[in-house]
Amino acid sequence: MRQTLHRILLALLAIVTMGALQVQAAKKVHTLGDSTMAPYDESATVTRGWGMYFGNFLTNGWMSINYAKGGRDSRGGYEELWQTAKKNVTAGDYVIITFGHNDEKNSGMDGYELKAYYESIGETAKAAAVDLRGTVPSTTYKEWLGKIVDEAKALGATPIICSPVCRSYFDGSKIRRNGRHDLGDSFSVLTSGGIKEKQSVPADDHTMDYAYHSQKLAEEKGISFIDLTTSTAKLYESYGDAKCHEYLFDGEGSTHFNTTGAVLVARECARLMKAQGILTDAITLPTDLTVAPSTGDFGEAYKGQTLQKEFTLNGFGLSPETGTVSVTATDGIVLSFDKKEWQTTLSADYSGSTLVKTFYAQVTLTTDGETTGTITVRQDDKTIEIPVKATAVTLEGGTEVKAYWRLEKDDACELTGPATPIAQTFQGMYVQRYSNPNAKTVWPEWTGYDASRKMQRDLLTGDAWPADEIDDNPERYIQWGIKPAVGTELKIDQISLFASGCGGNGMCCHIYYSTDNFETRTTIFEMKSMPANNPQYVEAKPVLTVKEGQELLVRVYPWYNGAASGKTICLSDLTIHGMAVTATGISQVSTDSTMTTAFFTVDGRQHAQMQRGLNIVRMSDGSIKKLIY
């Protein structure tokens, strides 16, 4: 028995040692921030976060992991994003932290303190309507950032604070004070005597300057500080108001980048870090033409589907100073700059030795198995070849599963097949009603529906949409889901629904799905200023496996473009479709010559059968196997 336990302990030691070696080999930069840094689905929106491209400037085995999400302030950064990130942070890693945009909610007051104040004076309606995001620059903002810094240090990582990128708020040729995240011209203060609004301080008073206090925190903690506020102000001003918005931003305001803007900001962050001696051997700043990504793995899809991927041409210090870059593709691949006109050859002119240009490639899966090809980029005597690969998969076998929420008179789910639906729930939202006699709903012609077809009409708690929202509020969403039946897993091939606004054309929303309770998420729809009473058809066809014990969750995050009351987001016909197949989590360990004789958990406790997680299995020939269940 002692020999067997000894072998078990050796096996466990081998597992731990292997894991430790893998951790040592991985060199990671973790990025935490808001929508200006966040990842976006290139097929759903033109918006890009600069954290998507920071890894383009890393070399020598370093990689970037982006945890940023839209709508997060420093409190959400700590309570949500950091709680996910720190599971993956190990000694030697770097953690880049940048918040500020959403910390400015409530005109510089802390959201939780404001809610508590309204509750203390009996203003329950106002308390319920408070946006809980928002911090005070000199106190709660620094406190939440400081928590991330301290815990990153405790893990042996190196935290770096970046001040937030500017908003492109111009006053003549310069970025305004509030564009630089200094609310000193107009802010509110919560005092023991109540709220004081429209306060101001002189330009040299940094009381309400978030960027300033992020720098002060870095100094207090003895860590590096990257001043992205000043550097992006200079970048924007070098373009001027009109060209800045045209070339760097997504066309939806003065906050969010397009690909060019996001790449330039990522490069600027890398440049500033290198200038300060941070990761000097790991940061590369190319001065010629590069393409990102350098390989075109389109992933898997079902036969007949068309896959799309975004590529970025990055040229700095190009020679000659003025010229043309050509992009060509082999058969089966088409290219476009605007996702409207597709062809096999593109040309991009550049001047000033600089080029940042996005192009898109499409592959249609017409045959089973793998499709391959090449995209070739040429500039003067330089040639870059990008290998392209896409794989067609077939969904077959198992039992069909379909969960369908009609949302015409209630939130009941019609289920077909072996699975468990997850009932509709609301966070910061509620169902107003299922009909509107005055609504003249115009459905897509292909549906055959007329205006009598009803939708679920949902309102936010308090009924009044805030004036300053430009992105998700993490405390406001509508959710449904599905999970596999015991002993099965789900192969999902469709998620679809209809969504529209009602009462005005200012409704906006993001729709995501997730299989890890929204630690990570995939965007399937984004629309701003949705036309009222015109349901938009949302459909995703993922190649997605939901394993036994997992849940597939679908969420709609709405907001409104400007202050308004009574405006609703309308939803109907949510469908989740796929196939249920036998779960693959149990390995068959018996053979003709050997049989299992005992099962042990990782702490050495013996069980009559395998348990959830890692099992150490003793075979009849004395060998030890490691099995996951």
Q: How far apart are CA 313 and CA 53, in angstroms?
A: 12
> In the predicted model, is pLDDT for residue 604 greater than 50?
no
With cut-offs at 50, 70 and 90, classify the pLDDT of residue 609: low
Give yes or no for residue 537 having a pLDDT over 50. yes
Q: Which two tokens stand for residue 133?
A: 């995001």
320: cis peptide before it, omega within 30°? yes
CA distance 614 to 42: 37
Burial class (CB in 10 A: 0-12, 13-18, 19+), 20: exposed
Residues in the chain: 629
Distances (CA, A) of 504 to 429, 473, 508: 18, 20, 11
C-alpha to C-alpha distance for 140 and 110, rounded to whole angstroms:
7
- Measure the CA–CA gap between 418 and 579, rounded to whole angstroms: 9
The residue behind tokens 């998969």 is: 393
Task: Report pLDDT for 139.
Answer: 98
The DSSP secondary-structure symbol of 446 reads: G
- Burial class of 604 by CB neighbour count within 10 A (0 to 12, 13 to 18, 19+): exposed
Both structure tokens of 539 = 């459909």
DSSP state of 140: I
Query: CB within 8 A of 76, min separation 6: which ones?
Result: 69, 102, 133, 474
Task: Indicate the SS3 state at residue 131.
Answer: coil
Average pLDDT taken over every residue of the chain: 89
Residue from 478, 610, 599, 613 nearest 549 by CA: 613
Helices (H), 86-193: 111-120, 124-129, 142-154
Cα 117-121-124 angle, rounded to 5 deg: 85
Strands (E), 4-51: 27-32
In terms of Cα–Cα distance, which of 287, 357, 290 is closest to 318?
287
Looking at this protein, which amino acid is placed at residue 327?
A: V
Position of tokens 């080029």? 355
- Token reading at 186: 């107009």
Secondary structure of residue 183 in the 3-state scheme:
coil
Q: What confidence score (pLDDT) does residue 304 get?
A: 87
* Residue 370: closest CA among 384, 391, 353: 391
Q: Which of 29, 183, 176 is nearest to 98 (CA)?
A: 29
Query: What are the helix (H) ranges across 33-158?
Result: 74-76, 83-85, 111-120, 124-129, 142-154
| pLDDT score recorded for residue 393 | 87
The span from the CA of 573 to the CA of 443, in Å, is 12
* 228-239 vs 241-248: helix crossing angle, rounded to 10: 110
Residue 496: strand pairing partners? 539, 575
**Count of C-beta atoms within a 10 Å radius of residue 518:** 17
Tens of pLDDT, residues 421-447: 999 999 999 999 997 666 789 999 999
- pLDDT tens sequence across 98-112: 999 999 999 999 999
Report the share of the chain in percent with pLDDT over 90. Answer: 78
Q: What contacts 100, CB < 8 A, 6 or more positions away? A: 34, 74, 141, 163, 164, 181, 210, 211, 214
Tell me which of 476-490, 545-559, 611-625 is least confident. 611-625
**Residue 31: burial class (beta carbons within 10 Å; 0-12, 13-18, 19+):** buried
Contact 422, 551 (CB under 8 A): yes
In three-state secondary structure terms, 321 is coil
Phi-psi label, residue 81: left if phi above 0, alpha if psi -120 to 50, beta otherwise: alpha
**pLDDT tens digits, 274-288:** 999 999 999 999 888
Residue % of the chain over a pLDDT of 70:
88
DSSP 39-69: ---TTT-S-B-GGGTGGGGB-TTEEEEE---
CA atoms of 350 and 317, how far apart (whole Å): 11
Highest mean pLDDT among 19-28, 158-167, 469-478: 158-167
Structure tokens belonging to residue 217: 């925190």
For residue 586, what is the DSSP state?
S
Q: For residue 482, what are its two tokens?
A: 């599905």
The confidence band for 10, taking pLDDT boundaries of 50, 70 and 90, is very low
How far, in Å, CA of 281 to CA of 373, rounded?
34
608 — pLDDT class (breaks 50, 70, 90):
low
Measure the CA dihedral 179/56/269/213, to 10°: 70
CB 475 within 8 A of CB 426: no
Residues 20-71: tens digit of each pLDDT: 434 345 699 999 999 999 999 888 889 999 999 999 999 999 999 999 999 9
- Residue 221 contacts by C-beta under 8 Å, 6 or more apart in sequence? 146, 149, 150, 159
Which pLDDT value is given to residue 13?
43
- For 376-424, the pLDDT digits (tens) are 999 999 999 999 999 998 887 889 999 999 999 999 999 999 999 999 9
Q: Which structure tokens are listed for 111?
A: 């959201």
Per-residue pLDDT, 44: 84
C-alpha 107: how far from chain center: 26
pLDDT surpassing 60 at residue 179: yes
Amino acid at 29: V
Residue 603: pLDDT over 50: no
pTM metric for this prediction: 0.82
pLDDT in tens, 128-143: 889 999 999 999 999 9
If you average pLDDT over residues 329-353, what whole number do you get? 94
Terminal alpha carbon distance of the chain: 24
Q: What is the pLDDT of residue 621?
A: 60
